[in-house]
Structure 1
Amino acid sequence: MVGPGELGEEEKERWRALRAASEAPRNPFMEPEFTEAVGLVRPQARVAVVYEGPEPVGFLPHERGPLGQGRAIGLGVSDAQGAILRPGLDLDTGRLLKACSVSSFAFDNLEAEQRLFVRYAAEEHATYVVDVEKGYETYESVLRAQSPKFLKTTLAKERKLGRQAGEPRFVFDERDPAALRILMEWKSAQYRRTGRQDRFAREWITRLVGRLARTRAPECGGTLSVLYAGERPVAAHFGLRSASVLACWFPAYDPEFAKFSPGLVLHLRMAEAAAAEGIGMLDLGRGAAEYKDALKTGELPVYEGAVTRPGAGAALHWLSREPARRAHGFVRGRPRLAALAARTLKGAARLRRT
Structure 2
Amino acid sequence: MRPSDLGDAELKRWRDIRTSHRDLANPFLAPEFTLGVGRFRDTVRVAVVENGSGVAAFFPYERGPLGTGRPVGAGLTDLQGLVAPPGLHLNARALLRACGLGVWDFDHLLAHQPAFAPFHRARRSEPVMDLSGGFAAFEDGLRRGAPKTHKTIRYKERKLGRDVGDVTYAFSSASAADLDRLMGWKSGQYHRTGRTDRFARPWIVALVRHFHETGFGVLSVLSAGGEPVSMHFGLRDGHVMAGWFPAYDTRFGRYSPGMIGHLRLAEGCAAHGVTEIAMGRGGKEFKEGFKGREIPIAEGRVARVTAAAGLHWARTAPLNRARGAVLDHPALYRCADQVLRTYARLRPGAGGRRDGGGGRAS
The TM-score by the shorter chain falls in which range?
A: over 0.9
Mapped contact 2:283–2:327 kept (Cα < 8 A): no
Q: CA deviation at 1:148?
A: 1.0
Is contact 1:23-1:113 (8 Å) kept?
Answer: no
Q: Does 1:252 align with 2:247?
A: yes
Distance 2:22 2:131 in 1: 19
Q: Kindly provide the CA deviation profile for residues 234-293 of structure 1, in whole angstroms up to 9, marking residues without a partner as x.
A: 000001112221100110000001111111111111101111222211111002213323
Distance 2:168 2:22 in 1: 37
Identify the residue that residue 319 of structure 1 maps to in structure 2.
Answer: 314
Tell me by how many angstroms 1:46 deviates.
0.4
Q: 5 Å matches for 1:3-152?
A: 3-53=2-52, 55-152=54-151
Choose from 215, 225, 232 the match for 2:227.
Answer: 232
Structure 1 window deviating more from structure 2 (237-246 vs 22-31): it is 22-31
Give 1:88 deviation, angstroms: 4.0
Residue 305 of structure 2 aligns with an amino acid whose one-letter code is P
Partner deviation per Cα, 1:105-132 (whole Å, 9 max, x = no partner): 1111111332211321111122111111
Counterpart among 343, 347, 352 of residue 338 in structure 2: 343
Counterpart CA distance in 1 for 2:225 and 2:330 is 40
Structure 2 letter corresponding to 1:135:
G
Amino acid at match of 2:332: L
Give the corresponding residue for 1:179.
178
**Which AA in structure 1 matches 2:219?**
L
Is 2:128–2:276's contact at 8 Å kept on the other side of the alignment? yes
Asked if structure 2 preserves the Cα contact closer than 8 Å seen for 1:24 and 1:113, the reply is no
Q: What is the distance in 2 between the residues matched to 1:138 and 1:331?
A: 35
Q: Which residue of 1 aligns with 2:263?
A: 268
Q: How many aligned positions are there?
A: 349
Deviation at residue 139 of structure 1 after TM alignment: 0.9
CA RMSD of aligned residues (A): 1.5
Partner AA of 2:110 in structure 1: E
Instruction: Summarize the Cα distance change of 1:119–1:214 in structure 2 as closer, same or farther, 3 Å threshold.
Output: farther
Offset, 1:348? 0.8
Read off the aligned partner of 1:154 and give its amino acid letter.
Answer: I
Aligned partner of 2:355 in structure 1 is: none
CA–CA distance in 2 between the matches of 1:46 and 1:321?
23
Amino acid at match of 1:215: T
With normalisation by structure 1, the TM-score equals 0.94
Which letter does structure 2 place at the counterpart of 1:292? Answer: K
Aligned positions of 1:151-190 closer than 5 A:
151-190=150-189
Distance in 2 (CA, whole Å) between partners of 1:85 and 1:329 is 27
* 1:194 aligns to 2:190 (yes or no): no
Q: Is the 8 A contact 1:103 1:310 kept in 2?
A: yes
SS at match of 1:74: coil
Moved more, 337-346 or 86-95: 86-95
Checking the alignment, whether the CA contact within 8 Å between 1:112 and 1:302 is kept in structure 2 is: yes
Give a deviation string over 1:28-55, Cα, whole Å, max 9, x none. Answer: 1101110001101110100111122472
Cα shift at 1:159: 1.4
Say whether the 8 Å CA contact 1:247–1:282 is kept in structure 2: yes
Matched, 1:299 2:294: yes
8 Å Cα contact 1:30/1:81 also seen in 2? yes
Q: Distance in 2 between matches of 1:229 and 1:170?
A: 9
- Once the 2 structures are TM-superposed, how far is the Cα of residue 84 of structure 1 from its aligned partner? 1.2
Alignment CA distance shift 1:134-1:23 (3 Å): closer
CA distance in 2, matches of 1:266, 1:334: 27
Deviation of 1:23 (Å):
4.5
Percent pairwise identity: 46
8 Å CA contact retained: 2:127, 2:278: yes
Which contiguous aligned blocks of 4+ residues in structure 1 show a shift greater than 4 angstroms? none
> Tell me, what secondary structure is at the counterpart of 2:115?
helix
Listed as ranges, the gaps of 5+ residues in structure 1 are none
Instruction: State the distance in 2 between where 1:125 and 1:321 align.
Output: 20
Write the distance in 2 (CA, Å) between the matches of 1:339 and 1:92. 39
1:246 aligns to what SS in structure 2? Answer: strand
Distance 2:86 2:146 in 1: 39
Q: How far 1:340 sits from its partner (Å)?
A: 2.3
Judged with a 3 Å threshold, the aligned counterparts in structure 2 of structure 1 residues 334 and 21 are, in CA distance, closer, same or farther, namely: closer
More deviation, 309-318/111-120: 111-120
- 1:289 aligns with 284
Give the Cα–Cα distance (whole angstroms) in 1 for the partners of residues 296 and 88 of structure 2.
22
Matches within 5 A, 1:207-226: 207-216=206-215, 221-226=216-221
